[in-house]
Chain A
Amino acid sequence: QVQLQESGPGLVKPSQTLSLTCTVSGGSISSGDYYWTWIRQTPGKGLEWIGYIYHSGTTYYNPSLKSRVTISVDTSKNQFSLKLSSVTDADTAIYYCARAGGQYLPPLYWGQGTLVTVSS
Chain B
Amino acid sequence: DIVMTQSPESLAVSLGERATINCKSSQSVLYSSNNKNYLAWFQQKPGQPPKLLIYWASTRESGVPDRFSGSGSGTDFTLTISSLQAEDVAVYYCQQYYAAPITFGQGTRLEIK
Residues of A whose CB lies within 8 Å of any CB of B are: 46-49, 60, 62-64, 96, 98, 100, 104-108, 110-113
B48, B98, B101: the one within 8 Å of A63 (CB): B101
- Would you give the shortest CB distance from B112 to chain A, in whole angstroms? 23
Among the 9-residue stretches B16-24, B66-74, B77-85, B103-111, the one with 4 or more Cβ atoms under 8 Å from chain A is: B103-111
Beyond A46-B107, A111-B49, whether A104 also contacts B101 by CB under 8 A is no
Q: Please tell me the number of chain B residues within 8 Å of chain A, measured between CB atoms.
A: 22
Residues of B whose CB lies within 8 Å of any CB of A are: 38, 40, 42, 48-52, 55, 61, 93, 95, 97-98, 100-107
State whether B49 touches A108 (Cβ < 8 A). Answer: no
Contacts of A110 in B (CB 8 A): 49-51
- Would you give the shortest CB distance from A107 to chain B, in whole angstroms? 7
The answer for the CA separation of A48 and B107 in the assembled complex, in Å, is 12
State whether A62 touches B52 (Cβ < 8 A). Answer: no
State whether B97 touches A104 (Cβ < 8 A). Answer: yes
Beyond A49-B101, A62-B101, whether A106 also contacts B52 by CB under 8 A is yes
With both beta carbons as reference points, the residue of chain B lying nearest to A106 in the complex is identified as: B40
Beyond A110-B50, A113-B49, whether A46 also contacts B101 by CB under 8 A is no
Contacts of A111 in B (CB 8 A): 49
With both beta carbons as reference points, the residue of chain A lying nearest to B51 in the complex is identified as: A110
The answer for the CA separation of A73 and B62 in the assembled complex, in Å, is 29
The answer for the CA separation of A47 and B52 in the assembled complex, in Å, is 14
- For this complex, 26 residue pairs linking A to B, each with C-beta atoms less than 8 Å apart, are A46-B93, A46-B104, A46-B106, A47-B95, A47-B104, A48-B104, A49-B101, A60-B100, A63-B101, A64-B101, A96-B49, A98-B49, A100-B97, A104-B97, A105-B55, A106-B42, A106-B52, A106-B55, A106-B97, A106-B102, A107-B52, A108-B52, A108-B61, A110-B50, A112-B49, A113-B49
- Would you give the shortest CB distance from A84 to chain B, in whole angstroms? 15
The answer for the CA separation of A104 and B93 in the assembled complex, in Å, is 18
The answer for the CA separation of A108 and B98 in the assembled complex, in Å, is 16
